[in-house]
Structure 1
Amino acid sequence: MTGRWRVAPLLGLYRPALVAAAVGLLFSIAGAAAVARWEDRVNKIEFENAAETESIVMQHGMSEYISRLVALRTLFESTNEEITRSEFETFSARLFERHPGMLRIAWLPRVNRKERAEYEAAAITDGISSYHIRSLQDDGFAIAPQSDEYFPVFYSTQPKTSSVYGMDHSSVPERRVALERARDNDRIVAIRARLYAERETGRQPDVIVSVPVYAKGTSRETVADRRRNLAGYVVGVFDLPLLMQAIRVTTGANPAVSINIYPPFTGRIVSLEETLPDYSSASSSPQSMRDVARGRHWAGHLRIGDTDWQVRAMPTAGGALETSYDRAGAVLIVGMLLTLSLATYLMLASRNSRRLSLANRRVLELAQTDVLTGLPNRAFFLARLNELNSQLKDHGPTFSILMLDLDRFKNVNDSLGHGAGDALLRLVAQRLKSAVRATDVLARLGGDEFAIIQEGCEDQRACSTELAARIAKLVAEPFLLPGHRVEIGTSIGIAIAPDHGRDQEQLLKKADLALYRSKSAGRNCFTIYDEAMSAELEARNTLEGDLRDAIARCQLEVHYQPFMDATTGTRRGFEALVRWRHPARGLIPPDQFIALAEETGLIVPLGEFVLRRACADAANWPSDLMVAVNLSPIQFKEADLFDVICAALRDSGLSPQRLEIEITESVLLERGAENHAFMERLKHIGIELALDDFGTGYSSLSYLTAFPFDKIKIDKSFIRNLTHQPRSSAIISSIVTLARGLDMSVTAEGVETAEEFERLKALDVNFVQGYLFGRPLPIDQIELDESTERSQRDAA
């Protein structure tokens, strides 16, 4: 009783002190904050004005350097006579006299293949000994291979003994892209690049500025005009740090402002910690962009040509523009002293409690979290699914399961490595999280498989399809990995409870069936399960078994469709096409079993059967007829494919020059180096190579130059539109022109009418193939005598 009476007076005694301390602390913080804001605001305005002024001065100085390069362009474009080496060197020296920062200036004339020897001889005559047009490679300079066009260093401010003479700028990919951009846009282009040898440690890349020069009096209104009338380039190489320092010294830069100039933004993802400046006015100032962002800074840009370097200005340490917050600090310290004892106690108590709570939470998270992506893992997903299934028995809410599988993810792993694959999975997880609601469960089941549980929708089917469409669109957008731009897709299968099942096994199985349907339908789409899928799966398994038996017993047939010389109308050969005559279902179209054969790996023995049969049949034809055989992308992955082809030729006695191998563009997307070497081996023994279905897939002109094709086969979809769509004629004409330039022939597939044939002849197509000249027939129904061929030619 006595103790209670003692406590009450103590509380009454200390209550005013506690209240006074609290009120005093509140006013101290408020006062310090108000003073600090005032100091900061005044200082910020002064600093930003000074930083902006410095940026304008630097831009004017850079523009002065660029204008002097443009003066050189004017020199070349203003005279009908050729500028001599002496004139170039004299004019360049005068332009940049007392302008430090310009390392060298060069003239890069446009030299075609025929002019190469003339330019090399002229340079040697001018005193450049051993002058050759050279390309820059990893281990130094080498004589440039034959090319249609060069842009070598012909004049330069460097001594005549310098190794820079003759270096072809178009042999360096990033410089070639810059030159083309300057030419097509008639702009001054700047890039950041290292020069021709490794520089001293810590030296940043220099800036290369390219100015396009056009022939005097010629038009440059359109891109075509500019490409045709380009005469060459004036190129300047800047030492950016030296140039910027000279500008600041000349203009009397403000010492209270430190300037960092960073490289331009590119598509490559770089950590802010790694982004170091190309120029820094003060070595003691922050270097990385992350360091700069932590403190007061002003952001702007320095334009060099058509490229923006990033400018970050900071107050110089200890300078007049650095905010000290002296008054605010004094107010805050007084307030903090009043609460120090209480804060220490609360800190210790809170810290112990928080450590215990975080430890318990971490143990639970590790058991149910995917380490790579931070998403819930398979264990958490299945536990939540079981929980929802249990609620269904008590008339709980409906829900849906979305099973996701990434399309073409394996290509990323195989080509870029597992590190890139892991980075891609993390980016995918981030996009998926942005697409789902907080109440949805998003989990990574393993590999490139994800799953979502969606609940709480009035119309579960509509909600699921809307979510699936949103996810498919998000994942289809390009991903930026370090140094690479990656495009993938996602296939999605949807099962809805309780319509499609009330237990975990049923729902997961049916969602997987729907996912398989999405992949079969062309990928990057979604499918909701229906009962027909189970029946189709059973029918597919039956068809697969029958196909295995048919291949094992050699029950497949090979039919042949002729292809003709478009000019003479004579038959030049046949394309081999596989047919399956099922004992119960009759003739099964290839589009119903070829895809199944590729998915199950049966395409390998099936393809070998077709190849051997086609070679054996063609060996009995007249010697001027060829046979064309398609190879599946799956067959290209077989290590012994070359031996299989050689064995088919050897066993049949067919000359390799009479065999044509047709390859689809999808083969070229994977294992590029290995497939190129394989195709070179085929070419070496005399086999012809054709790029099939050109224009329907991932068509790229680089395939035509990188791989040794003899023929391009234009897909029949272009032929169908030939007589009523002018664009189809323009496309086919462009393909024919391109093929002729690459010494290739062109075959048009799917020709069905005489009008189409006449149009194709007018477009100079080499070969034609289609129902107009004959349908695919068994070998015993093919007429090979001359009279039949003549009648077919007359009909065409």
Structure 2
Amino acid sequence: MGGRDRNGQDRKRVTGWWRAAPLLGLYRPALVAIAVGLLFSIVGAAAVARWENRVNRIEFENAAETEAIVMQNGMGEYISRLVALRTLFESTNDEVTRSEFETFSVRLFERHPGMLRIAWLPRVTRKGRAEYEAAAAADGVSGYRIKSLQGDVFEVAPQSDEYFPVFYSTQPKTSSVYGMNYASIPERLAALERARDNDGVAAIRTRLYEPREGGRLPDVLVAIPVYAKGTSRETVAERRRNLAGFVVGIFDLPLLIQSIRVTTGASPAVSVNVYPPFTGQIVSLEDMVPDYSSAATAPQSMRDVARSLHWSGSLKIGDTDWQVRAMPKAGGALVAGYDRAVAVLTVGMLLTLSLSTYLMLASRNSRRLSLANRRVLELAQTDILTGLPNRAFFLARLDELNSQLNEASAAFSILMLDLDRFKNVNDSLGHGAGDVLLRQVAQRLKSALRATDVLARLGGDEFAIIQEACEEQRASSTELAGRIAKLVAQPFLLPGHRVEIGTSIGIAIAPDHGTDQEQLLKKADLALYRSKSAGRNCFTVYDEAMSAELEARNTLEGDLRDAIARCQLEVHYQPFVDATSGARRGFEALVRWRHPSRGLIPPDQFIPLAEETGLIVPLGEYVLRRACADAAGWPSDLMVAVNLSPIQFKEAELFEMICAALADSGLSPERLEIEITESVLLERGVENHAFMERLKGIGVELALDDFGTGYSSLSYLTAFPFDKIKIDKSFIRNLTHQPRSSAIISSIVTLARGLDMSVTAEGVETSEEFERLRALGVNFAQGYLFGRPQPVDEIDLDATESSQLDAA
């Protein structure tokens, strides 16, 4: 009985194993698959999680770097506007007035929030202190005194060898900021000294000692040194000796950075904190709160930022580096997430699907990374206004082409373009209209080019084109320039206005005109200058004579400076007569230059040069003073006429200079006639009208010169207080053989009579012309028939003009 039981148990045991073995074999692949699937799912999910974290970090760092670049570029724009103000002080011949300072400063920072104030800090010595205090009081700054910081309050500054007080400011004249001596504030003085010795921009984080509404830290003070015009600044000693003062700007840093980010469309997924620069003092990281934070939450300490994902950089302001820390904004697109890893884990055994998902996501994120990098490069090489490549891209492409010049068919051309009359559009319609015009010009230029050509905006209204290899390079370049000139000359439709401009083009061809960047750009610029000198709206190809002309022009400019400084110019006088009686009524003053080696140089060679270089201002003053002094010795019934250049009209002290010339010579204002060309009236209409009314108020007569050769002449006659019209000699030259000239002159005479003005005809050379003009009703006549220009010593004041006419 026991044996049977054991055998039965053995059979049952063997039968159970046999049944379990197929079960294990049946589920072994499933178990292996489950094990392998779980292993691959876990490993794959972990790998995807690490990859997601890395990609998000790269995207975040690229976005943060882009934000830092944009903030640095925006800060550079603000600093460059302060440097432009320094240029105003260093370029003008006279002292910058308070009004000029305020006007220029306001225009510089229009639509640029974040600038709290701008100030001019002259270098004042102990000896000049009283003079500066009196000048400020005379300018309307009541009770102006130079003040020094004593404790936490400002008091009248004690005597010192040197001061740097606030003399001009964009603050109201009642502000307590006037007279503040920066030399009495140690940290500000240190910044000024750094800027002076390094001839650069110095910046400090400071607090304002004068109250302002909503005032809070941080404020940033930027100082730029200004040196006396024409002085050397090569060494530290020369900079200290020739320092004239400082242009100082104070920024509201949070407002400034916020404005830059808003203007440039900052990424909402990046939170940016800007911390103050290290000062060398040991500061707890818990105490370092940001000067600026884009997050809506409370500012975070440096330690808080260091504990999370962040990017570190710097923001350079002048010679000081603020610290930048960027973090992905909570809930933003750049916060690390593990959705893909969860998806891989969920899919589990479906390795193929997980792999395809991984590859698809990898490809997408790789492309996002590539686009982000490309965007950073585009920002660095693109003009924001027009979307064209900028100067940096243009110069880089030019370098590439220069390196290929040794290869066959590697020739190329450079076309430099400058828009004609663009400044008139900006001045009359505003910078907004000017920006719209620049965009339209860019579109027209692109339409004229091939895909292989490069069009760039270099700045302002300057464009440049690289035309790559053509079969006939010179012919292709001139053909392209001609097409561009026609395109730009067509009218532009701006909002509410229709404007017409032109373009001047200079062309240089490589390798014929040079094999390096500097040579080609210089020669293209010379050709552009020739186009502008030739009357604009045309193109010129460089030739070697232009370099020789430039050298000769520079030599002539130097000689002209010496001649003006040494009073070597001469004033000659040409008479004008009463057309009815033939009696001499006065003389026109004409400047002559007798060069010691070249002899008598025609005015049309050195007058344009004087206007381009600004020498026309001292030259014009010399002619006016000489003419007044000479005319004072003539009979009282003779007048003297003097031309004023358009450049002189831009001088703030022109009226005072005329009054001084009259007073010093003793000449009655009624005997002085000022001749003005129509080009003077194209700009600053309100200011010029007021200036002419002041001249009329003291008795000076006004004549519109070269009538009929300019623009909108009839509107000028009714709008401006002229006494006389001078008909250009081009009408007189055709008088005897072109009936139209007689009709034009007759119309001018009739118009002048209706406006109670007299008429002078210039360029009268024959008795026939004179008789014809007399019959047409001209009041006065001038020309070789009555006398050539002569020095004052050769004028016969006793001779009668009628006898000269009879002799003729």
Q: Is TM > 0.5 for Structure 1 vs Structure 2?
A: yes
**Matches of 2:495 and 2:404 in 1, distance apart?**
46
**Maintained 8 Å contact 1:491/1:515:** yes
For 2:804, the equivalent position in structure 1 comes to 792
User: Is 2:712 the counterpart of 1:693?
Assistant: no
Which of 461, 472, 476 is 1:448 aligned to? 461
Larger Rg: 1 or 2?
A: 2
Deviation at residue 352 of structure 1 after TM alignment: 5.4
Deviation at residue 386 of structure 1 after TM alignment: 1.0
User: Is 2:774 the counterpart of 1:767?
Assistant: no
**Matches of 1:360 and 1:611 in 2, distance apart?**
63
Which of 377, 397, 400 is 1:364 aligned to? 377
**Maintained 8 Å contact 2:707/2:713:** no
Deviation at residue 416 of structure 1 after TM alignment: 2.7
For 2:639, the equivalent position in structure 1 comes to 626
**Matches of 1:473 and 1:345 in 2, distance apart?**
56
Question: What secondary structure does 1:587 align onto?
Answer: strand
Question: What secondary structure does 1:623 align onto?
Answer: coil
Deviation at residue 364 of structure 1 after TM alignment: 2.8
For 1:503, the equivalent position in structure 2 comes to 516
**Maintained 8 Å contact 1:570/1:793:** no
For 1:744, the equivalent position in structure 2 comes to 757
State the TM-score, normalizing by the size of structure 2: 0.55
Deviation at residue 488 of structure 1 after TM alignment: 2.0
Distance 1:699 1:753, change over 3 A: farther
User: Is 2:745 the counterpart of 1:732?
Assistant: yes
Deviation at residue 591 of structure 1 after TM alignment: 0.2
Distance 1:439 1:784, change over 3 A: same
User: What is the number of equivalent residue pairs in this alignment?
Assistant: 452
Matched to 1:789, the amino acid is E
Matched to 2:716, the amino acid is Y
Q: What CA deviation, in whole Å up to 9, does each residue of 1:229-258 have, x standing for no partner?
A: xxxxxxxxxxxxxxxxxxxxxxxxxxxxxx
Distance 1:418 1:345, change over 3 A: same
Q: What CA deviation, in whole Å up to 9, does each residue of 1:734-754 have, x standing for no partner?
A: 111111111111111001111
Distance 1:366 1:789, change over 3 A: same
For 2:216, the equivalent position in structure 1 comes to none
Q: Which residues of 2 match residues 328-407 of structure 1 at below 5 A?
A: 355-407=368-420
**Matches of 2:589 and 2:776 in 1, distance apart?**
27
For 1:660, the equivalent position in structure 2 comes to 673
**Maintained 8 Å contact 2:583/2:800:** no
**Maintained 8 Å contact 1:478/1:488:** yes
687-696 or 405-414: bigger deviation: 405-414
**Matches of 2:710 and 2:590 in 1, distance apart?**
21
Question: What secondary structure does 1:756 align onto?
Answer: helix
Q: Which residues of 2 match residues 167-178 of structure 1 at below 5 A?
A: none
For 1:677, the equivalent position in structure 2 comes to 690
Matched to 2:757, the amino acid is M
Question: What secondary structure does 2:477 align onto?
Answer: helix
**Maintained 8 Å contact 1:753/1:772:** yes
Matched to 2:806, the amino acid is D
**Matches of 2:493 and 2:743 in 1, distance apart?**
35
Question: What secondary structure does 2:404 align onto?
Answer: helix
Question: What secondary structure does 1:783 align onto?
Answer: coil
For 2:629, the equivalent position in structure 1 comes to 616
For 2:565, the equivalent position in structure 1 comes to 552
Matched to 2:801, the amino acid is E
Q: Which residues of 2 match residues 513-662 of structure 1 at below 5 A?
A: 513-662=526-675
Q: Which residues of 2 match residues 20-39 of structure 1 at below 5 A?
A: none
Matched to 1:791, the amino acid is S
**Matches of 2:589 and 2:360 in 1, distance apart?**
82
Deviation at residue 385 of structure 1 after TM alignment: 0.8
Question: What secondary structure does 1:593 align onto?
Answer: helix
Deviation at residue 350 of structure 1 after TM alignment: 8.6
Deviation at residue 383 of structure 1 after TM alignment: 1.2
Deviation at residue 501 of structure 1 after TM alignment: 0.6
Deviation at residue 480 of structure 1 after TM alignment: 2.2
Matched to 2:575, the amino acid is P
Deviation at residue 517 of structure 1 after TM alignment: 1.1
For 2:114, the equivalent position in structure 1 comes to none
Matched to 1:658, the amino acid is R
**Matches of 1:457 and 1:413 in 2, distance apart?**
37
Any stretches of 5+ residues in structure 2 without a counterpart?
Answer: 1-356
Which of 725, 736, 739 is 1:712 aligned to? 725
**Matches of 1:715 and 1:347 in 2, distance apart?**
79
**Maintained 8 Å contact 2:577/2:781:** yes
Q: What CA deviation, in whole Å up to 9, does each residue of 1:553-591 have, x standing for no partner?
A: 100000000001111111111000000000000000000
**Maintained 8 Å contact 2:581/2:802:** no
394-403 or 565-574: bigger deviation: 394-403
**Matches of 2:452 and 2:574 in 1, distance apart?**
59
**Matches of 2:796 and 2:689 in 1, distance apart?**
37
For 1:467, the equivalent position in structure 2 comes to 480
Deviation at residue 351 of structure 1 after TM alignment: 6.5
Question: What secondary structure does 2:405 align onto?
Answer: helix
For 2:525, the equivalent position in structure 1 comes to 512
For 2:271, the equivalent position in structure 1 comes to none
**Matches of 2:754 and 2:461 in 1, distance apart?**
44
Question: What secondary structure does 1:393 align onto?
Answer: coil
Deviation at residue 420 of structure 1 after TM alignment: 2.1
Q: What CA deviation, in whole Å up to 9, does each residue of 1:175-216 have, x standing for no partner?
A: xxxxxxxxxxxxxxxxxxxxxxxxxxxxxxxxxxxxxxxxxx
Q: What CA deviation, in whole Å up to 9, does each residue of 1:302-325 have, x standing for no partner?
A: xxxxxxxxxxxxxxxxxxxxxxxx
Q: What CA deviation, in whole Å up to 9, does each residue of 1:349-393 have, x standing for no partner?
A: 996576445434323322221111000111111111111111112
**Maintained 8 Å contact 1:400/1:496:** yes
**Matches of 1:470 and 1:401 in 2, distance apart?**
15
Deviation at residue 456 of structure 1 after TM alignment: 2.6
User: Is 2:770 the counterpart of 1:757?
Assistant: yes
Q: What CA deviation, in whole Å up to 9, does each residue of 1:252-273 have, x standing for no partner?
A: xxxxxxxxxxxxxxxxxxxxxx
C-alpha RMSD over aligned residues: 1.9
**Matches of 1:396 and 1:387 in 2, distance apart?**
15
Deviation at residue 527 of structure 1 after TM alignment: 0.9
**Maintained 8 Å contact 2:382/2:388:** yes
Deviation at residue 417 of structure 1 after TM alignment: 2.5
Deviation at residue 347 of structure 1 after TM alignment: 11
Deviation at residue 793 of structure 1 after TM alignment: 3.7
Question: What secondary structure does 1:792 align onto?
Answer: helix
